[in-house]
């Protein structure tokens, strides 16, 4: 369990994380989403004490990370930036980390096998591909068999097989009762992996809810309707907060009123309906809506 309270980080004039409070619970996968520069990596670095908070604190299982007698057994962290000496082999890198906690060499071999690094374990890390480096980072995070996993963009650079492995492995670890906290900007990835979402934008928490609630919370919920009598139905539906958009193919998109009500109104007016489909916003849309005002680096769309 990770408890974050009033966490704030200022780099000079830049407020990277702004009074953030949330809890990451065990037994589920919690996704940490947000646009570039939102402060996800900074928050994660503060949890393991690499950056000192300007204010607030982060606790892991009730204590600051550094106060645990076996930190690597408490938290396994894969951080964004590379964190390996390029001149050392993968095996020696893991062995050196393991030695600090008296973790046996057999465990080093185990995590190498789990992450599929056997064939390159005795090669120097400097020559590793992006994906192999990412696997080594995951291996290091798993080394201490931690209760809590903090993975900053763990699928970065992985091939599809690797992406699926990470997803299934995270779900498996959570099912064992561990706390799993993963950051990403990939909504599609999160929708398949996470149970709960924390969305960050410009250093502030924009949403902290189960993934289904985040989707449901999106205001853009519409019902697609088809009728031969477009004019009549549009008139019948007219009302405050109700918008009806018509499309070239004859479909209508109605928002502000649910499908059942539309059906009732049509029946009462004797209007035939050929289609009546509630369209959920995708997680992608929900997320874009949440963060549209909070994106730090807007890409200009040229038309």
**Binding footprint of another protein on the chain (CB under 8 A):** 25-28, 45, 48-52, 65-66, 69-73, 77, 79, 81-89, 92-93, 95-103, 107, 140, 144-145, 147, 176-178, 195, 210-212
CB of 111 to ligand ATP, least distance (A): 25
For residue 261, the surrounding DSSP H or E stretch is helix 259-268
Closer CB to ligand ATP, residue 80 or residue 145?
A: 80
CB of 34 to another protein, least distance (A): 20
Residues 6+ apart with CB under 8 A from 298: none
Q: Which of residues 184-203 bind ligand ATP (CB under 6 A)?
A: 185
Closer CB to Mg ion, residue 33 or residue 252?
A: 33
Q: CA nearest 113: which of 139, 148, 147, 88?
A: 139
d(CA 189, CA 155): 9
CB of 98 to ligand ATP, least distance (A): 28
Q: Which of residues 63-82 bind ligand ATP (CB under 6 A)?
A: 80
d(CA 175, CA 195): 11
Q: How many CB atoms lie within 10 A of CB 275?
A: 12
What does residue 148 show for φ and ψ, rounded to 5 degrees?
-130, 135
Q: Render 67-82 in DSSP notation, one character per residue.
A: GSSSHHHHEEEE-SS-
CB of 212 to another protein, least distance (A): 8
Q: Strands 275-279, 222-226: parallel, antiparallel or unpaired by DSSP?
A: antiparallel
42 binds Mg ion (CB under 5 A): no
Q: Which of residues 66-105 bind Mg ion (CB under 5 A)?
A: 80
- Which positions lie near ligand ATP, rule CB under 6 A? 11, 14, 16, 34, 36-42, 80, 185
- Which positions lie near Mg ion, rule CB under 5 A? 40-41, 80
């Amino acid at each position: 369990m990770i408890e974050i309270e009033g966490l704030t980080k200022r780099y000079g004039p830049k407020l990277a994380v702004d009074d953030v409070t949330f809890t990451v619970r065990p037994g589920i996968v919690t996704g940490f989403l947000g646009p570039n520069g939102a402060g996800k990596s900074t928050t994660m670095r503060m949890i393991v004490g690499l950056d000192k908070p300007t204010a607030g604190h982060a606790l892991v299982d009730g204590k600051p990370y550094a106060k645990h007698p076996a930190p690597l057994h408490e938290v396994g962290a894969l951080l964004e930036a590379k964190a390996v000496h390029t001149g050392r082999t993968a095996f020696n890198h893991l062995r050196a980390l393991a030695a600090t906690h008296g973790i046996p060499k057999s465990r080093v071999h185990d995590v190498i096998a789990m992450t599929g690094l056997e064939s390159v374990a005795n090669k120097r890390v400097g020559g590793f591909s992006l994906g192999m480096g990412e696997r080594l980072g995951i291996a290091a995070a798993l080394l201490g068999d931690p209760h809590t996993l903090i993975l900053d963009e763990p699928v970065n650079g992985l091939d599809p097989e690797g992406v699926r492995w990470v997803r299934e492995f995270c779900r498996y670890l959570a099912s064992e009762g561990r706390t799993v906290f993963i950051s990403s900007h990939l909504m599609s990835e999160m929708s398949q992996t996470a149970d709960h979402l924390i969305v960050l934008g410009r250093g502030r928490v924009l949403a902290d809810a189960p993934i289904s609630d985040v989707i449901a919370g999106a205001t853009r919920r519409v019902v697609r309707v088809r009728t031969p009598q477009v004019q009549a139905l549009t008139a019948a539906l007219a009302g405050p907060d109700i918008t009806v958009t018509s499309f070239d193919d004859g479909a209508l998109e109605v928002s502000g009123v649910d499908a059942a009500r539309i059906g009732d109104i049509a029946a009462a007016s004797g209007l035939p309906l050929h289609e009546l489909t509630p369209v959920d916003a995708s997680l992608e849309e929900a997320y874009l809506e949440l963060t549209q005002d909070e994106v730090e680096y807007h890409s200009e769309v040229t038309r």
